[in-house]
Chain A
């Protein structure tokens, strides 16, 4: 698309030459460093990540484990509500306690973050792997391979994934729920990535440089790893960064519905589910995990959005 404007804009001093991949990464980083929203998001994510990594340290410092009851912090006469205002926030319990059993919310948030990030990260890795492999197979070989992969993708995308995930998870034995969650999320998640990879591979295969490489006798592996995969990199980065918040939301949603990680292992969705019957009298119990979940998803989304904007701008230059 050559509009007159784009046409004559080149009349000025040459605007940002299309850089090599290495400088593109640095350029995106440069853009992000100048974006206040992106910086806040990265800062918040770093904080949550740190909490997750240091969860045992936090527990040791405060003296409250994620599953330890603290009956001293709740008021039995008030029906099990935390003592003090704001859901029992005090020097002892920095984010308050859960009603009824007095578990420390800070510790549970930190341990819950581990679960959320671990599941979302693993699901992202697995979906990316499946999506890239199947998408490239379909796009590269075409023919019946493409037909089979495309039909499977159609099928999985037509499947009522949420209902099915809940149904599977509820009927499976609750052995290793985290692993099951990753597998179930990935099985229904990869077609969305594969569809894009397939489309891009299809166009790349017919581009001059790939044909030139093919004509000069490059092996299939060389074609795939040297010519096609590097060209998919920027869209893969964008798609995966935008997928992570989705998976964190899905994990929390499934835990909220009671089919996620099994108690007493804490998870944010599960904490929110637990707060449903208390939200009218102890809103902090709901607000704290809700806020952590919202801000984490928001931060990841903002980062993904800004990275996408920066890559788009880079491709346009």
Chain B
């Protein structure tokens, strides 16, 4: 177990390192000079050089990359002497746009992304699994066909199209909901709920449709298994047969896929957050890309990769708990 975990964590660190390296490399090579960006309109060549020195981007690539990595682990100082700024670990640098600490920006915005992700996940699990289960049990009926066609349709709507359509119908035409705004739960719980409802629905629709299809397929496969015939031949009640013998084998793969999807969402629902103007990590990513704010782009890329690889390891660990045939060696 300890060996397995050590191996997995080493792999995790390796992947994160590679993501760092590639992201850094690409922005080092491709991006316009950030010093010019920061300097702004009233700029002199001396000022540009000064900024470069403070940021450390006058150094060769590998030195810069090393500075970034060590800053991430141990913190780093920008500049020298009286003007130096200490950036405590984990140091992701400072935004070129607002000079804020990137780490603090991320920490600030993560709750919004988490709220979006958790609410959507609850919705899509409830809707998707229920619909899939009913479809599987009523396989081949009118209900089954309608739900499955609906699921194909729902999975085909690009989420920004759905977002705009919902906003037009619910906010502009029917006036059921107010325009989404960034309020906290404690400030105004009703407005908070109303603001997040549309993002939740938009994000959940695509996933719910996929999960409905996945659940249906898994349940139908499980119902055809030989052990289901055994369970029936034992004289167990239909409820026990379904709940114990069919659901667990059918839903275990769904759980693992859910883990991966959810982890990916924590890294920010870029399009949904942008369309609804929610100040989460996803919108931060879009904004930073639009403004070429490299430290922020680095941070969001790294954060998203972190959630994906950690989610991957957690899902594998969870699987060993859910499926007795899977054991860690």
Chain B binds chain A: yes
Q: Does B181 contact A (CB under 8 A)?
A: no
B interface with A by C-beta (< 8 Å): 15, 18-19, 23, 26-27, 30-32, 149, 152-153, 155-158, 160-161, 164-165, 167-168, 172, 224-226, 229, 264, 267-268, 270-271, 274-275, 285-286, 289-290, 292, 297, 300-301, 304-305, 308-309, 312
Complex Cα distance, B152 from A301, in Å, reads 7
Name the distance in Å between B215's Cβ and chain A's nearest Cβ.
16
Complex Cα distance, B312 from A290, in Å, reads 34
B286 cross-chain contacts in A, Cβ below 8 A:
166, 257
Which stretch of A24-32, A93-101, A211-219, A272-280 is in the interface?
Answer: A272-280
A4 and B229 in contact (CB under 8 A), knowing A37-B149, A276-B164, A290-B161? Answer: yes
Complex Cα distance, B264 from A287, in Å, reads 30
Complex Cα distance, B285 from A164, in Å, reads 10
Q: Is there contact, CB below 8 Å, between A155 and B18?
A: yes
Task: Choose one: A3, A252, A275, A279; the contact of B224 (CB below 8 Å).
Answer: A3
Is the contact region of chain A dominated by helix, strand, or loop, or is it mixed? helix
Q: Is there contact, CB below 8 Å, between A155 and B15?
A: yes
A interface with B by C-beta (< 8 Å): 1, 3-4, 37, 154-155, 158-160, 162-164, 166-168, 170-172, 245, 249, 252-253, 256-259, 272, 275-276, 279-280, 283, 286-287, 290, 293-294, 297-298, 301-302, 305
| Interchain Cβ contacts under 8 Å between A and B, 24 examples | A1-B225, A3-B224, A3-B226, A3-B229, A155-B15, A160-B267, A160-B305, A166-B285, A170-B289, A170-B290, A171-B26, A171-B27, A171-B31, A171-B292, A172-B30, A253-B160, A257-B271, A257-B274, A280-B172, A286-B165, A287-B165, A294-B158, A297-B156, A298-B153
Q: Which 4 A-B pairs have the closest CB atoms?
A: A160-B304, A298-B156, A297-B156, A290-B161
Q: Is there contact, CB below 8 Å, between B271 and A253?
A: yes
Name the distance in Å between B146's Cβ and chain A's nearest Cβ.
12
Task: Choose one: B156, B157, B301; the contact of A160 (CB below 8 Å).
Answer: B301
A160 and B161 in contact (CB under 8 A), knowing A171-B27, A245-B156, A279-B167? Answer: no
Q: Is there contact, CB below 8 Å, between B304 and A163?
A: yes
B168 cross-chain contacts in A, Cβ below 8 A:
279-280, 283, 286
A164's nearest neighbour on chain B, judged by CB, is: B301
A294 cross-chain contacts in B, Cβ below 8 A:
156-158, 161
Q: Is there contact, CB below 8 Å, between A163 and B158?
A: no
B157 cross-chain contacts in A, Cβ below 8 A:
294, 297
Complex Cα distance, B156 from A264, in Å, reads 27
Q: Is there contact, CB below 8 Å, between A293 and B172?
A: no
Q: Is there contact, CB below 8 Å, between B305 and A168?
A: no
Name the distance in Å between A150's Cβ and chain B's nearest Cβ.
11
Complex Cα distance, B160 from A252, in Å, reads 10
Q: Is there contact, CB below 8 Å, between A170 and B292?
A: yes
A302's nearest neighbour on chain B, judged by CB, is: B152
Beyond A256-B160, A256-B271, A276-B164: 18 further Cβ-contacts under 8 Å?
A37-B149, A155-B15, A160-B267, A163-B267, A163-B270, A163-B300, A167-B26, A167-B27, A167-B289, A167-B297, A171-B27, A172-B30, A259-B289, A275-B164, A280-B168, A293-B158, A297-B156, A305-B152
Complex Cα distance, B279 from A115, in Å, reads 32
Complex Cα distance, B159 from A252, in Å, reads 11
Specify which of B152, B158, B264, B285 lies most central, judged by the most chain A CB atoms within 10 Å of its CB: B158
B290 cross-chain contacts in A, Cβ below 8 A:
170, 258
A152's nearest neighbour on chain B, judged by CB, is: B18
Q: Is there contact, CB below 8 Å, between A164 and B224?
A: no
